Amino acid sequence: MTSDKPKTHSVNTARPEGYEDLLVWQKGMALVKKVYEITRTFPRDEKFGLISQMRRAAVSILSNIAEGQARHSTGEFVQFLSHAEGSVAELNTQLILSVELGYCSKDRTAEATTLVRELRRMLNALRRKLESQ
């Protein structure tokens, strides 16, 4: 007997089926959406400058998590997590700069900054755990 219920993925599985099941990837997705929202109000002359840099850094975090998890070795996953950590630092710097330049308020970047902090901790913990295996 088969169920008509759609298949759902559990976030808390011991071995995730795919990168979408990783909480760190899900937080990264939330961060990308937030960065796009924040940068929509930046000056038009920043379209190929800070807007592009911030969006690429945010997408890079997410993409590196996904690509690393899809690789066939722990060493490769660790390497991609390290790249994601670099992109987190890059984006954090750009968020600070956008406030300093007056493109947005600190309040407007607060949620993104919180997500950046969470991702930094989560990526670091995941990388260390994988390295110790």
**Residue 15 pLDDT level (bands cut at 50, 70, 90):** very low
Contact by Cβ (8 Å): 126, 24: yes
- Mean pLDDT across 46-73: 95
Query: What is the per-residue pLDDT across 90-130, written as a single tens digit (0 to 9) for each?
Result: 999 999 999 999 999 999 999 999 999 999 999 999 999 99
Please give the residue that has the higher pLDDT: either 15 or 49: 49
pLDDT score for 11 = 36
Measured in degrees and rounded to the nearest 5, phi and psi for residue 99 equal -70, -45
pLDDT score for 72 = 83
pLDDT score for 18 = 86
Joined together, the tokens standing for residue 97 give 């700069």
Write the burial class of residue 98 (CB in 10 Å: 0-12 exposed, 13-18 middle, 19+ buried): buried
Which residue ranges form the domains of the chain, and what is each CATH number?
20-131 (1.20.1440.60)
Supply the mean pLDDT for the chain: 89
pLDDT score for 16 = 55
Distance CA 50, CA 95 (A): 9
The winner for highest mean pLDDT among 7-21, 65-79, 85-99 is 85-99
